[in-house]
Structure formats: C-alpha cells, structure tokens
Amino acid sequence: MELTAAERLDLEALKNKIEEQLHGQGVKFSEREIQHIEDMKNKIHAHVDKKILIEKLASIAQGNDPIDKSLYEKYDVKRGLRNKNGTGVLVGLTSIGDVVGYEVKDDKKVAIPGRLIYRGYNVESLIKDAEAHNQFGYEQCAYLLLFGKLPTQDELNEFNELLGSMRALPDNFTEDMIMKAPSDDIMNKLARGVLASYSYDPNPEDRSLSNVLRQCVELISRFSTLTAYGYQAKRRYYDGKSMYIHNPLPELSTAENFLRLIRNNKAFTDDEAKLLDLALILHAEHGGGNNSSLTVHVVSSADTDTYSAIGAAVGSLKGRRHGGANIQVSQMMDDIKENVKDWSNENEVKAYLEKIANKEAFNHTGLIYGMGHAVYTINDPRATLLRDKAAKLAREKGLEEEYNLYKMVEKFSPDILYNKHGDGKKICANVDLYSGFVYSMLNIPRELFTPIFAVSRIAGWSAHRIEEIVAGGKIYRPAYKNISAEREYVPIEKR
C-alpha cells in the first residue's frame, strides 16, 4: 500500500521536475499538454485506487475462507476424492483405460509394477506393433479408445483419411479466432479455440451419438492445428518473431502435421515424428479418475455441449498439478543445472536435491517435480518408455551429460523424499520427468509442452465424453457439508 502512495508522489515530483526544466529553458507546456499530463495522472491514480481496493478485498477473502483441517477428519471428508489409504474414491465405472500400480490387500495398497491399459490392451503392445510395422501409432490408438476395438488395416486407412480431411480449420477461423485474439498462454488459446468452434458448427447442440462422435473426431483432428496456430500467433504478437502459417496436409499423421506446422521450414525427420508419435500414444488416456478426464465426465453429465465439456478439460489440464507439471520439471532442471557445478558429481547433485526437498532451493515448495504419482509406485511405464528413447536421442545429439543428470534425479529423489516425509511409501519418476527433455531435444519450444499433452489427450477425453453420454445418465452431485453457523441479518445502517 505504501508503494502505491509513493507512486503518486513520484508522479507529481516527475511532473514538477519536467515543468521546472522546460520553464528554465523558456519552454512551456501548452494547455493541451498540461491536460494530457493531468489525464494520465488521473488514470494512474484510478488504477492505483483499484489495486488498493482489490488487495483489501483479497485480504478479507483470505481471512474468511480457511477451514480447520481437523474438521476434515471429523466429518471423514475424502479430500481430493482420495481414501485414507491413498486410493481414489470410486465414483464411476469405465471400460476405456486403466492405470495399474498397486493391489489392495487388507485395505492396504501393495505396490506392483506399473501398467497402462487402453481398452484392455497394454499400451506397450500398441507401441511395439506400430514399431514393427513402421507405422505411426497415435491414430490407431485414437480409434481403439473411441470404438473399443483394434482396427483392421482397411479400417485404419479409412479413419486416417477421415482425420486428414478434417485437419484444416473452418474458413476465417484462423484470422478471426486466433490471430485477432492471441494469447501468451497457448493452453488458454486452445481452450478458447475449442469454445469458438461451437460458433462454426452447423449443429452444435445435437447430443445424438453420431453428432457427438463427429464433433469429437473433428477435435481430435484439429487440436494439433489449433495448438500450432496459437503458438504462431504468440510468436508474432508476444515474442516479436516471425509467424508462419502452413496448411496441414491430409496425408500426414498427427505427429508429422504438428512438427510441420510449428517449424518455419516445415521440415522434420521420420525419427523425430516417430518419437513425438510415441509421446502422443503415451499421453492419450489415463483412466477416468485423472482430473481432466473426470472433468469431462462431470461437465458432460450436466447434458451440455461437446465444446463446453472439452474446453473445461483443457482448463483442467493446464493446471500445474496436472498437465502443467512438465513445465515445472524443466524449470527445476534449469535451476539444478545452474546451481550444480559438476553435473557428474553424484554427491553434489544429491545435496542440491535435498535442498529442494527441504524448501531451501528452487521454488521453496519442497517438491521435486517429475517424481511421484497417485497410482504408480514402483514405476511409471510411460516414464520408462520415454527414458529409453531419450537415452538414444541424447547419444545422437551429444547430450548424454544432461541425460545422466535426469537419471540422477530419478535415482536419488525417492530416498530423499521418503526420508523427508516418512510416510511409508516410496515414489517413482513419472512421465513428466522425461517428456520435457525429449521435447527439448526435438527442438519443440517449452511453451508447447503442455499443449502437446492436450493434442494427445483429446482422444481419451472424447472417449470419456461418449461413455458418459451412453452409460452415465446421472448428473454428478457430490456433497459439501456447510460448517458455518446461521447468523441474524444486520441492516446496512447498523453494520
């Protein structure tokens, strides 16, 4: 508050100083110039007054809303929809995906090696099949998630042609909805792009399954285009760099088109596209209980349109506790690289990780980003697969020293956090630890890390929306217990 008052004094002093200088040289302000200074001063004062009022109101809200933590225990509140043993509260059933990391025996979680299941199939099998046939696998993965069956080659070709025919955005959409309203945050731009798609849909409110499926397939096809164009607009309007708007090609895969659209020369290698394709497969689905997929179920249960449900999911994924975690990992690794002199010195790396865990370094939260998962304990299969690919790419690009630094974070963090918190559970690296490193080696800008997650996860979100429409039928309505006492109303003149 004192600083804002000082700003007022500084503004007045500056005006007086300028007047004295100019008058001393025989120069005077015209009445119009004086009025302009007064107008600017009034605008600044009004801005400062608003800021003071907002800070005052925020202080009131901060003091009014805390809830005694003991009450959560008293009323057996499942905070974060988690049971006391760490398992998720069962709120629904799904046949789309499964995240396996533990078994429950005698009401206790028993860790087992992690598995990621899409429609009953281990995701590792999907990846091996794509590699064996030298094919891009994300489109087959999307087909499987949507329709619950593995496609024949003819069915896959037909589906790929359908996706390819839909990749271009509607007429005037790029100029009117992206270029005229750019955003510094591409996830925000993507969410707005999804909501704006409602206005370009000739039948946005039809909840029939065929129409919803058509909308979902269009979004799966166009998410890479929406994201890439949002990135190009950011480059132009926020970064002061050149903007390149390339047309997507219908014959290219999602991974290929995305790399084509974000690069000024449209160039990419097959190896680059295949590695991005792997990342898209690994991020496409993660069960119905993750925050953004649950958001799709909750919002869809209200019987709203597809664009509102998917837009809400994008907002969820943007969060730093969800899809935004890979950015946190990259920022943490920047900090480690800056403060650890010898990246190969295990003792030095371990000591700095302990500082991070003790809230003495990085962002002082005590979190080692890229470590831990709600379900996986022994290993996150996504992290394992990306780590192995990252090792190969790091050797090719001469980045083995940096790769080994990531490996040390994975090696030492579980024991450091276990000794710090002593909660009886050790943790493993999650997919975010290596995904950002892989993207950076592909020369993908950091601001696209989380949007790539969305480009992939739209397949899973679409499957969950369809499942909610087909098998749901009840609006989500959990309970919140009010803990405040009723009060007698006080007339305004007596307050």
**What single-letter DSSP state applies at residue 202?**
S
**What single-letter DSSP state applies at residue 9?**
H
Is 188 exposed, middle or buried, given 0-12, 13-18 or 19+ CB atoms closer than 10 A? middle
d(CA 393, CA 137): 20
Q: How far apart are the first and last CA of the chain?
A: 25
**What single-letter DSSP state applies at residue 178?**
I
Q: At what angle do helices 186-197 and 209-237 cross, to 10 degrees?
A: 140
Instruction: Give 109's strand partners.
Output: 104
d(CA 286, CA 118): 8
How many CB atoms within 10 Å of residue 477? Answer: 8
- Nearest Cα neighbor of 184 from 456, 487, 447 is 447
Token code pair at residue 469:
């429409």
Options 277, 305, 380, 432, the catalytic residue: 432
- Nearest Cα neighbor of 436 from 445, 427, 426, 425 is 445
Q: Is 121 helix (H, G, I), strand (E, B) or coil?
A: strand
d(CA 444, CA 421): 36
494: which residues sit within 8 A by CB, 6+ positions away? none
Q: Are 99 and 286 in contact (CB under 8 A)?
A: yes
Q: Where are the beta strands (DSSP E) in 239-336?
A: none
Q: Is residue 185 annotated as a catalytic residue, yes or no? A: no
Options 283, 286, 297, 373, the catalytic residue: 373
Q: Are 238 and 182 in contact (CB under 8 A)?
A: yes
**Residue type present at position 349:** V
**Residue type present at position 431:** V
For residue 235, the Cα-to-chain-centroid distance in whole angstroms is: 19
d(CA 322, CA 316): 7
Query: Distances from the Cα of 434 to the Cαs of 71, 326, 384, 391, in angstroms?
Result: 39, 8, 9, 10
d(CA 185, CA 177): 15
Q: Is residue 373 annotated as a catalytic residue, yes or no? A: yes
Q: Is residue 322 annotated as a catalytic residue, yes or no? A: yes
Options 45, 185, 201, 322, the catalytic residue: 322
Q: Is 76 helix (H, G, I), strand (E, B) or coil?
A: coil
- What are the φ and ψ backbone dihedral angles of 202, each rounded to 5 degrees? -70, -15
How many CB atoms within 10 Å of residue 307? Answer: 21
- Nearest Cα neighbor of 349 from 398, 399, 394, 407 is 407
- Nearest Cα neighbor of 328 from 426, 224, 433, 469 is 433
Residues noted as catalytic: 322, 373, 432
